[in-house]
């Protein structure tokens, strides 16, 4: 976006969430040609930063680099990923709120047992276009240009910051350059920030359109992330694969606590987004305990939300039970579903049929992997072919069976499934993790935060179950089952289950 007379703002952000400058030396920044102002401004979650406003992006960035800031981090929690994992493990052994509460008596005497711990790191959304927002003053209000997934909330937030009525704010929704949930944030953090910067600039005499731009490093280090999670499972079953008792614990931050959605989505202290996808579509005697520790790391939904971790846990454990009882993973899943869940059965059957699973011989060194999951009222089943090449897991072929009821535009369904699957594949790759050391995010750009690239994309076929029922969603359901299907194939090659994302084969 380029408006007449527009100025560009970039922000020096604290290294630890919630910190503030103790002192600022901005003399070198003000000397950069094109810099118009250097101002201290409030940021999200009680933090404070220093904004450099210039005639264009590059002098603003140069000015920011020239700042000398002494940050005061003494009053904020400094999250450390290694310590956090240890704390989560301890918490997983404590009593807590129950989402399901089946009888665990049969667990002790079960003929077969699985004890498993899963860990999932923080994940950044990493859209190709980092966050940005342009705010232009008008005689009767303001106009915003911004990529937004919640335009109504963002417009109201802008009005609050600028002291205007909502009808005085015109918000032009731009193509977002990727969102995946980061531009659908209840706090409207980046819009609030941009409006606060514009307000400060106008008060300083710069009555011009102000475009606040986040760099890639700002985007990866600035939150909000898919929460880190730990799962702990104890499962008792018999030689036929009949699950007698499944004791499960989830530990992870709540996404919606403190947001306008809390009243609807937090019940008995449990965030509904953290448990979506657990147990279904299988009739399992499960006790599910949930802990939501508070951490000084901003968290948010990430494409497919809780299903990013629950699908992986459920579908890899179901596969492990099938392997340990020497059952075909497709047949075992169908037996657990019985005559219920016709959409799941149809999606799985279609993927199996079109993939050649069980009929087409695979090349040496390859294995099949299967997974299915429902999210946002649509079901996706994957049958994949994978191998280990030089010790690195490699995905070769993906066949999808999709049940989204009536497919109004099948090509759009295909595109959504492919895009979601590639994002799901990215979760598996080495380096796909946001980690913190003494409160500081360690990743800053694509050199140290892995995304799936075109060279990682396997051959891909999408098949849709015919239906005339009312359409359901297709933006996110293609993501959750990809990682477990891939992991299940690799486990069949190595004989060892995979317990973490990204994959750790050590």
Tens digit of pLDDT for each residue in 107-144? 999 999 999 999 999 999 999 999 999 999 999 999 99
Report the residue count for the chain: 506
Residue 476 host element (H or E): none
Give the pair of three-digit tokens for residue 192. Answer: 């609030």
- The residue among 327, 319, 386 whose CA lies nearest residue 355 is 386
* 470, 413 Cβ separation under 8 angstroms: no
What pLDDT sits at residue 221? 97
Find the angle CA(33)-CA(68)-CA(192) to the nearest 5 degrees. 80
The per-residue pLDDT for 506 is 79
Handedness of CA 226, 227, 228, 233 (dihedral sign): negative
Taking the CA atoms of 261, 197, 30 and 26 in sequence, report the sign of the dihedral they define: negative
pLDDT at 34: 98
| Neighbour-count burial for 129-140, b at 16+ CB within 10 Å, e otherwise | ebbbbbbbbeee
* Residues sharing a CB contact under 8 Å with residue 288, sequence separation 6 or more, in sequence order: 98, 99, 100, 101, 248, 249, 250, 275, 278, 279
pLDDT tens figures, 2-19: 999 999 999 999 999 999
Q: What is the pLDDT of residue 493?
A: 97
Residue 435 φ/ψ, nearest 5 degrees: -125, 155
Go through 424-456 and write b for each residue having 16 or more CB atoms within 10 A of its CB, e for each that does not.
Answer: bbbbbbeebbbbbeebbbebeeeeebbbbeeee
CA neighbor of 316 nearest in space, from 366, 260, 360, 369: 369
Amino acid 227: pLDDT: 98
- Structural domains of the chain sorted by starting position, each given as residue range(s) with its CATH number in brackets: 7-75+131-213 (3.30.365.10), 81-124+225-494 (3.30.365.10)
CA–CA distances in Å: residue 401 to residues 117, 134, 447, 464: 29, 42, 34, 6
Residue 339 CB-half CA count within 13 A: 0
Q: What is the CB neighbour count within 10 angstroms for residue 403?
A: 27
List the one residue out of 275, 295, 297 whose CA is nearest residue 286. 275
Residues of the chain with pLDDT under 70: none
116 pairs with which residues across the strands?
Answer: 233
* pTM score of the predicted model: 0.97
Is the CB of residue 148 less than 8 Å from the CB of residue 173?
yes
DSSP 38: E
Strands (E) located in 407-483: 436-437, 440-441, 459-464
pLDDT of residue 37: 98
Q: What single string gives the DSSP state of each residue in 199-243?
A: HHHHHTT--S-EEEE--HHHHHHS--BBPPEEEEEEEEE-TT--E
Predicted confidence at residue 64, as pLDDT, reads 98
């Amino acid at each position: 976006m380029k408006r007449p007379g527009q100025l560009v703002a970039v922000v020096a952000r604290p290294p630890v969430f919630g910190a503030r400058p103790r002192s600022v030396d901005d003399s070198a920044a003000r000397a950069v040609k094109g810099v118009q102002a250097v101002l201290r401004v409030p940021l999200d979650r009680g933090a404070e930063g220093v904004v450099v406003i210039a005639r264009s992006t590059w002098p603003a960035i140069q000015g920011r680099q020239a700042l000398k800031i002494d940050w005061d981090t003494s009053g904020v929690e400094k999250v450390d990923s290694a310590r956090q994992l240890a704390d989560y493990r301890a918490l997983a052994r404590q009593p807590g709120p129950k989402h399901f509460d089946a009888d665990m008596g049969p667990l002790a005497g079960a003929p077969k047992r699985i004890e498993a711990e899963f860990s999932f790191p923080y994940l950044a959304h990493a859209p190709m276009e980092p966050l940005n927002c342009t705010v232009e003053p008008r005689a009767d209000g303001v106009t915003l240009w911004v990529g937004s997934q919640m335009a109504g909330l963002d417009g109201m937030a802008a009005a609050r910051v600028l002291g205007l009525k909502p009808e005085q704010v015109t918000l032009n929704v731009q193509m977002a350059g990727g969102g995946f949930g980061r531009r659908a944030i209840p706090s409207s953090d980046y819009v609030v920030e941009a409006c606060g910067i514009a307000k400060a600039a106008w008060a300083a005499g710069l009555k011009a359109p102000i475009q606040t731009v986040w760099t890639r490093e700002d985007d990866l280090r600035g939150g909000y992330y898919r929460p880190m999670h730990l799962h702990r499972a104890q499962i008792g079953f018999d030689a036929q694969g009949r699950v007698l008792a499944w004791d499960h614990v989830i530990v992870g931050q709540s996404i919606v606590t403190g947001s306008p959605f809390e009243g609807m989505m937090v019940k008995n202290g449990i965030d509904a987004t953290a448990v979506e996808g657990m147990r279904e579509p299988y009739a399992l005697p499960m006790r599910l305990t949930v802990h939501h520790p508070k951490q000084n790391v901003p968290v948010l939904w990430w494409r497919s939300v809780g299903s990013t971790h629950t699908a992986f846990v459920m579908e890899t454990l179901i596969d492990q039970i099938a392997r340990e009882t020497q059952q075909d993973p497709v047949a075992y899943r169908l037996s657990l579903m019985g005559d219920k869940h016709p959409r799941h059965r149809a999606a799985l059957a279609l993927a199996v049929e079109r993939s050649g699973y069980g009929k087409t011989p695979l090349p040496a060194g390859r294995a099949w992997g299967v997974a299915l999951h429902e999210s946002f009222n649509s079901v996706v089943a994957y049958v994949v072919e994978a191998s280990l090449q030089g010790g690195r897991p490699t995905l070769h072929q993906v066949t999808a069976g999709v049940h989204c009821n009536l497919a109004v535009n099948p090509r759009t369904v295909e595109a959504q499934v492919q895009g979601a699957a590639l994002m799901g594949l990215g979760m598996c790759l080495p380096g796909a993790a946001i980690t913190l050391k003494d409160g500081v995010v360690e990743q800053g750009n694509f050199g140290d935060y892995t995304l799936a690239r075109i060279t990682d994309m396997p051959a891909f076929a999408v098949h849709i179950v015919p239906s005339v029922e009312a359409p359901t969603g297709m933006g996110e359901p293609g993501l959750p089952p990809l990682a477990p299907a891939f992991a299940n194939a690799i486990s069949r090659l190595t004989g060892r289950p995979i317990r973490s994302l990204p994959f750790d084969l050590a």
